[in-house]
Amino acid sequence: MVQITVNGVVQDLDVEPDMPLLWALRNELGLTGTKFGCGVAACGACTVHVNGNPVRSCVTPVSAVDGASITTIEGLAYAAGGGALTAVQQAWIEHQVPQCGYCQSGMVMAVSALMASNPAPSDADIDSAISNVCRCGTYPRVRNAIRSLRTA
Amino acid sequence: MKLNRRRFLLGTTAFGGGLLIAYATTRPSKHELANRSSAPDQHFLTTWLRIDPDNTVTVIVPHSEMGQGVLTSLPMMAADEMDADWNLVKVEQAPATTLFANGVLVKGFAATMVGIPKFLDGVADFATMKLAEIMNMQITGGSSSVRFTGEHGMRVAGAAAKELLRTTAAGRWNVPVNEVTARLSHVYHVASGRSATFGELAADAAQLQPGKNPVLKQPGEFTLMGRNIPRVDIPAKVDGSAMFGIDARPAGMLYAAVKTSPVFGSKLVSVDHAPALQMRGVQKVVELEDAVAVVADNYWRAQKALDALNPLFAETDNDGESSASIFASHDAAITDGDTNKDIEEGDAAAALQSATTTVDATYRVPFLAHAAMEPMNCTVHFHDDLCDVWTGTQDNLGIRGRVASVADMDDDDVTVHAFYLGGGFGRRLPQSTNTIDQATLIAREFDVPVQTIWSREEDTRQDYYRPAVSSQFRAALDESNKVVAWENIYTGQNEPAEAAHTPYSIANKSIKWVDSPTHVPFGAWRSVAHSQHTFFMESFVDELAHQAGKSPYEFRLEMLTDKPRHARVLRAVAERANLQRVLPAGHALGIALQESFGSIAAQVAEVSIGSHGEVRVHRVSCALDCGRVVHPDTATSQVESGIIYGLTAALYGQISIANGRVVEGNFTDYQMLSLAESPDIDVVLLESEGVALGGLGEPATPPVAAAVANAVYVLTGQRIRELPLKNYRFTANPVESVANLL
């Protein structure tokens, strides 16, 4: 039995210890905002926050996050202290970033973690921190949206 | 509303008599009409518009939203013509019933030089133009939504609706209709100070016959078209609430993981179920003709149990096929195969024989997978002699037909629930979506819903690929270094046929193709045949320019004297990229141009060679003329998207065949462009008066590979005749010797 807190709610999971967090979230807890893209941590569509840190949930066994606090895209605004949308999410709308949208949960989670740890990321910081794959090619807008969020 | 009114409206506006017959052929039953209006006080004025008493206008979109903004742009076009208040406009995805089939789309393809694309084969029988089948389509592809459905469907529907509303008001107020105006979902008679909402007029308006030719607005009168209206689908895509096919969660659902025979066309011989059946959560092992599936209560458990199986697939004649053997077949076909005529103008053979200078080159590109971010999936539930399907697809109606066919049911007994697509690019057309058949057959074994999900590896190895193509060129230059002959033989004619037709004015052209079939399934991949042939043609033209000792830009312009739109686009990109500027040391520019899907795109790539001999693309400038722009920001995003999709293919795209099967499996060996590698992209959109609208989803993809490869030539002196560029380790020429040859 693994106990995790997901978006502020304590969840007891009676699953195999090696089940990836992604599939516990999607199939056991019904949280579909976190996406399956590759299963090998290569694309970042499954990015969630574990105790505030960005983690690729498709290769993170639930046993490794026992007792941890997990934030998914559904709980991002809640975790940031309430309000409908975070500044990152608002910037995503302002810059009309998503196209198909499938990778954007992971993209928003990765960028949110970057901004929390580095509120004024340089372009090089952005390049090294955001390795999420987007097949629609929203990268120019992702970059512009992040630039707009930089604090002086 | 009566059928004949709808038939009359659509049959006498955009396309004359064709659709009138079509609508008669697919006369909806009264039952269907009843379904179409789900509440008694909702009134349909046309196929695509619904006005409710609360004064909301619902625009029903017969295309799939896959990031191209169609749920915003098409309603904008209808609402603009209608003079509806955008704040009162709602958007719905059309249900997958024949009543909402998109006849305008079919006629659009038929009416343009594009012709009926082959990727629609299987959806409709175009050879005999069986109208009932043609109507059975609801497809999103061919960069068609705005230019066909929007321009000839949505706008006409909106204008017709407004006319009906104004006529109704005029009758009610007993005033001349030309004194009645519409604005922001209200109708006014200014002289008498009277007004009514669309909703108040809708019921009476639905009793009227629409006029023959509703008057469309002139561009200067647009209130919504041309504006950057925020896309309606975006808010749900930033908070995780957008539902993709893989997010469908009907009650009691199980999950299936599948392994299909790795060699295309092989069959399952045997598989021991026992290793899977003893694993937690596993419900069943399902054997299909060419695959084995495990069904469990959690996808991860299903996939894990599947991995524990050791299915035996039959040997086939194709087990020895490889990329090398396929390209060898191409070479043999080009050398010895029966040629099919594509274009014959003048006498290319004679011109080549008498020419002072000839240039020969053979180009090739490998197979490519689509690699949509959302792995292929489909959820199916058989119950009560009916079937429900939850999936994201480029053609909901086509999927309904596909499931009905596999399940041997009537179309009407199958309900398709439309979801967002996690990437289309041609992958989610019914005939490129083999997942649907499997999901149907697997779900048949259960009385609960089953969601079949392909692993990324399965998605990569069981695609309908962009075909590998080889293309051989010969060209002749005269004494003044003018191109006088262009000879080209390529393998496998794909759609659209004009992809291999160079736009340049050359007196003698001979373009032929040869068959070189393989066992590797192929399908439509963003921009279809253009992505290969533009790389070939625009690289070869560059070779000719260098042979002629001319600037590749000027060389192209000289051959576009009879194509002013093309020339204008080329000049625009040259200006935007500022060809004469001093480039950073070690950087060079390459240029390329192509018309596709009714739009003309030209690109300039600024490129350097990195410290590991790799190609680095710093900036891509793109000028694109699509006739008229409905939504500038979405248009720009589609161009950005198309460039990055094409650039990924140019730099990394390679599906290799070994032992008859696909080698690459995941993003680790089928690499995608990253944000760090993504160039700055500068887009200039041009408009042209009096031309048909061009598409936007695809036309930016074709030129980029040639633009980059042409810059690499400037940097290294190495002509790139095969992609991808990752297979090269380049040595840049000394910086001082790299001239800005554009």
Closest residue to A98, CB basis, from B238, B424, B673: B238
Q: Which residues of B touch A34 (CB under 8 A)?
A: 240
Q: What angle do CA B375, B377, B378 make, to 5 degrees?
A: 165
Give the DSSP per-residue string, A7-75: TTEEEEE-S-TTSBHHHIIIIIS--TTS--S-SSSSS-TTEEEETTEEEEGGG-BGGGGTT-EEE-GGG
**Containing H/E element for A108?**
helix A104-117
The whole-chain average pLDDT of chain A stands at 96
CA distance between the termini of chain B: 61
Tell me the pLDDT tens digit for each residue of A32-83.
999 999 999 999 999 999 999 999 999 999 999 999 999 999 999 888 887 7
Chain A residues closer than 8 Å to B374 by CB: 35, 37, 100, 102
Q: Which long-range contacts (CB under 8 A, 24 or more apart) does B23-31 make?
A: B23/B103, B25/B131, B25/B132, B25/B135, B26/B98, B26/B101, B26/B131, B26/B132, B26/B135, B27/B3, B28/B3, B28/B98, B28/B99
Supply B394's token pair: 């480029």
> Which of 44-63 (A) contact B at CB < 8 A?
45
Read off the pLDDT band of B22 (50, 70, 90). very low
Our CA-based measurement puts residue A88 at a distance from the nearest CA of chain B, in whole angstroms, of 9
> Contacts of residue A63 in chain B, CB cutoff 8 Å?
none
Q: Which of B604, B582, B578 is nearest to B681 (CA)?
A: B604
pLDDT per residue over B181-236, tens digit each? 999 999 999 999 999 999 998 888 877 776 667 899 999 999 999 999 999 999 99
Running DSSP on this structure, what letter comes out for residue B420? B
Chain A positions in Cβ-Cβ contact with residue B453 (cut-off 8 Å): 36
Chain B residues in contact with A35 by the CB 8 A cut-off are 244, 246, 373-374, 422
Q: Please give the Cα distance from B629 to B225 (Å, whole number).
A: 8
pLDDT band at B403 (very low <50, low <70, confident <90, very high): very high
Closest chain A CA to residue B250? A30
pLDDT tens column, B258-312? 999 999 999 999 999 999 999 999 999 999 999 999 999 999 999 999 999 999 9
Confidence of residue B739 (pLDDT cuts 50, 70, 90): low
Return the pLDDT at B36.
Answer: 33
List strand residue ranges (DSSP E) for B74-218, in order.
89-93, 180-183, 186-189, 194-197
Mean pLDDT calculated for residue range B621-648:
97
List chain A residues with CB under 8 Å of B230. Answer: 93, 96
Give the mutation candidate from B228, B232, B238, B669 for the A interface (greatest A CB count, under 10 A): B238
Distance from CA of A138 to the nearest CA of B (A): 7
Task: Verify whether the Cβ–Cβ distance B675 to A105 is below 8 Å.
Answer: no
Q: Do A92 and B238 touch (CB under 8 A)?
A: yes
Q: Check pLDDT > 90 for residue B125.
A: no
Q: Give the minimum alpha-carbon distance from B506 to chain A in angstroms, rounded to a whole number.
A: 36
The DSSP result for B372-405, as a single string, is -SS--EEEEEEETTEEEEEE--SBHHHHHHHHHH
Q: What is the pLDDT of residue B507?
A: 97
Closest partner CB to A140 (pick from B297, B300, B678): B678
Q: CA B80, B84, B88, B93 torsion: positive or negative?
A: negative
Give the model's pLDDT for residue B719: 98
Q: How many angstroms separate the Cα of B113 from the Cα of each of A105, B109, B495?
A: 40, 8, 12
Give the pLDDT band (50/70/90) at residue B412.
Answer: confident
Do the strands B599-609 and B615-625 form a parallel or antiparallel pair, or are they unpaired?
antiparallel
Distance between first and last Cα of chain A = 46
How much is the mean pLDDT over chain B? Answer: 87
Which of B212, B192, B188 has its CA nearest to residue B200? Answer: B188
- Tokens, residue A39: 């299963």
Out of B238, B240, B246, closest to residue A72 by CB:
B240
> How many interface pairs between A and B have CB atoms less than 8 angstroms apart?
184
Please list every residue in chain A whose beta carbon sits closer than 8 Å to the beta carbon of residue B228. 96
| Contact residues, chain A, for B240 at CB < 8 Å | 31-34, 72-74, 76, 105
pLDDT for the residue numbered B20: 20
Q: At B687, list the tokens.
A: 């408009």
And the tokens for A143? Answer: 């970059």
pLDDT tens column, B58-67: 888 877 888 8
CB distance B642–A137 less than 8 Å?
Answer: yes
Q: Residue A104 is nearest to which of B228, B238, B681, comparing CB atoms? A: B238
Query: Above 80 in pLDDT, residue B148?
Result: no
Q: Say whether B195 sits in a helix, a strand or coil.
A: strand
Q: CB A100 to CB B67 under 8 A?
A: yes
What distance in Å separates the CA atoms of residue B287 and residue B564, rounded to the nearest whole number?
Answer: 59
pLDDT category at B733 given cuts 50, 70, 90 is: confident
d(CA A39, CA B132): 43
Q: Which of A16, A47, A99 to mutate to test the interface with B (most CBs of B within 10 A)?
A: A99
pTM for the predicted model, two decimal places: 0.91
Mark which residues 219-258 of B lie under 8 Å from A by CB: 228, 230-231, 233-244, 246-247, 249, 255
Q: Among A26, A96, A143, select the one facing B675 at the smallest CB separation.
A: A143
For residue B496, whether the previous peptide bond is cis, meaning omega lies within 30 degrees of 0, is: yes
Alpha-carbon Rg for chain B, nearest whole angstrom, is: 27
Burial class (CB in 10 A: 0-12, 13-18, 19+), B191: exposed
Strands of the sheet with B450-453, listed across from one edge: B282-287, B291-296, B254-260, B450-453, B377-383, B386-391, B414-418
Rounded to 10 deg, the angle between the B3-11 and B17-25 helix axes is 150
Give the Cα separation of B642 and B701 in Å (integer). 4
pLDDT class for B47, splitting at 50, 70, 90? Answer: low
> Residue B680's closest chain A neighbor by CA?
A140
Cα distance between residue A36 and residue A45, in whole Å: 6
Residues 6+ positions from B169 with CB-CB distance below 8 Å: B180, B187, B189, B194, B196, B201
Q: Which residues of A touch B280 (CB under 8 A)?
A: 16
Chain A residues near residue B302 by CB distance under 8 angstroms = none
Each residue's pLDDT tens digit, A74-131: 999 888 887 789 999 999 999 999 999 999 999 999 999 999 999 999 999 999 999 9
B636 — contact with chain A (CB < 8 Å)? no
Contact residues, B window 118-157, toward A, CB-based 8 Å cutoff = none
Query: By CA distance, what is A21's nearest residue in B?
Result: B300
**What is the least distance, in Å, from the CA of A108 to any CA of chain B?**
7
Inform me whether the pLDDT recorded for B16 exceeds 70. Answer: no
The Cα A25–Cα A61 span in angstroms is 12
Contact A32 B66 (CB under 8 A): no
DSSP-assigned states of every residue in B331-370: HHHHHHSPEEEEEEES-HHHHHHH-SEEEEEEEEE-BB--
How would residue B493 be classed by pLDDT, with cut points 50, 70 and 90? confident
Query: Which residues in chain A have Cβ-Cβ distances shorter than 8 Å to B682?
Result: none
> Which residues of chain A make contact with B244, given a CB cutoff of 8 A?
35, 101-102
Chain A: nearest CA to B336, how far in angstroms? Answer: 39
User: Of B412, B406, B314, B419, which is closest to residue B377 (Cα–Cα)?
Assistant: B419
Closest C-alpha to B639, from B654, B626, B649, B653: B626
Q: Which of A42, A45, A101 sits opposite B666 (nearest CB)?
A: A42
Element (H, E) at A144: helix A139-149
Distances B591 to B482, B542, B596 between C-alpha atoms, Å? 19, 8, 17
Which residue among A20, A100, A139 sits closest to B644, beta carbon to beta carbon?
A139
Q: Cα B643 to the chain's mean position, in Å? A: 14
Cα–Cα distance, B262 to B658 (Å, whole number) = 11
In chain A, what residues touch B634 (CB-CB under 8 Å)?
96
Beta carbons of B11 and B23 less than 8 angstroms apart = yes
pLDDT over 50 (residue B46):
no
Q: Least CB-CB distance to A42: which of B255, B634, B668?
A: B668
Task: Tell which of B278, B300, B456, B651 to mutate to test the A interface (max A CBs under 10 Å).
Answer: B300
Kindly list the residues from chain B whose CB atom is less than 8 angstroms away from the CB atom of residue A134.
373, 675
Who contacts A26 (Cβ-Cβ below 8 Å, separation ≥6)? A32, A34, A36, B299
- Select from A93, A102, A108 the Cβ nearest to the Cβ of B374: A102
| Separation in Å, CA B548 to CA A16, B378, B567 | 69, 55, 20
Bridge partner list, B498 = none
- Tell me what the mean pLDDT of segment B462-480 comes to: 97
